[in-house]
Amino acid sequence: MKKKYLYLFLRVLVYLLVLGAILYGLYESPYNPHPHSAEDIRRWVVGFGVWAPLIYVAVYTIRPLLLFPTLLLNLSAGVLFGPWWGILFLLLGGFGCASFCYLLGRFGGGNWLLRNFGGSWGERLTHYLVGSGSFKKMIILRTVPIFPYDPVSIIAGSVRLPFKIYAAATVLGMLPGAIAYNFLADAFGTPRFYAALAVTLLAFGIPLVWWQKNSASQALGSLKNFGKGSDNNGKEYRD
């Protein structure tokens, strides 16, 4: 038994050391601009000229490794490319990041990490995704704003959710938010800002309210119960 826990400890230690070294190298790289605002990202990306769209999509794809703030990347698409092209490049970048996290979960030891360290959220989402209706469930996880984007992607890969289902649901689920973010960024400093802000709040608020009122929340529990480790039927998910 002691050997088992020692082996587990060594695996975790090696995994964290490798991951830490990669993150430190990328964070301290002279090519990392360490943005503090959407304008910082805009100035940095624009510096690449005609390659700006490709750089934006590539940076968004590996965003978890660069530790770039997601909100700033979402807003900078509209600032960089305008509301219409911004939607396209935001979707491409978001899908690239979702695919990266999915592959990390599927081939990077995600299933092992999920079993040992997923906790109640990981167990709940795993039971949710492996059942029937995966496409609809994945769209719900993408549109309801309380579910963390990257962990959901890693869990989907870890439980081997078919990629074509995952990809289609991810793109459709991202679309309302991509539209809202781009028109919000494009409206900064104009009389249209408050209208764009209202649309953004609706884009995220309507799915949340619908999920709370709909039977879709039964499988995962209400918003109140989700963080407690039990569903609406009283089933407990222990860490």
Q: Take residue 105 and report the two structure tokens written for it.
A: 């979960």
Q: What is the dihedral of CA 104, 108, 113, 118, to 10 degrees?
A: 10
User: What is residue 68's predicted lDDT score, i.e. its pLDDT?
Assistant: 76
Supply the DSSP string of 35-88, one letter for each residue. Answer: -SSHHHHHHHHHTTGGGHHHHHHHHHHTHHHHT--HHHHHHHHHHHHHHHHHHH
Asked if 86 and 41 count as a contact pair (C-beta separation under 8 A), the reply is: no
SS3 230: strand
Dump strand ranges (E) for the chain. none
User: What is residue 147's predicted lDDT score, i.e. its pLDDT?
Assistant: 82
Q: Which residues make Cβ contacts (< 8 Å) with residue 50, sequence separation at least 6?
A: none
Question: What whole-number distance in Å separates Cα of residue 177 and Cα of residue 200?
Answer: 7
Asked if 66 and 96 count as a contact pair (C-beta separation under 8 A), the reply is: no
List the chain pLDDT tens, one digit each, 239 residues: 566 656 656 665 665 666 566 655 655 565 566 666 667 777 778 778 888 899 899 989 988 887 777 888 888 888 888 888 999 999 999 999 999 999 988 887 666 666 665 566 667 777 777 777 888 888 888 888 888 888 889 888 988 889 999 999 999 999 998 998 888 888 887 888 888 888 888 888 888 888 777 655 555 654 445 445 444 444 544 43
User: What is residue 80's predicted lDDT score, i.e. its pLDDT?
Assistant: 86
User: What is residue 118's predicted lDDT score, i.e. its pLDDT?
Assistant: 58
Whether the predicted model's global pTM rises above the 0.75 cut: no
User: What is residue 238's predicted lDDT score, i.e. its pLDDT?
Assistant: 43
Question: What whole-number distance in Å separates Cα of residue 61 and Cα of residue 117?
Answer: 25
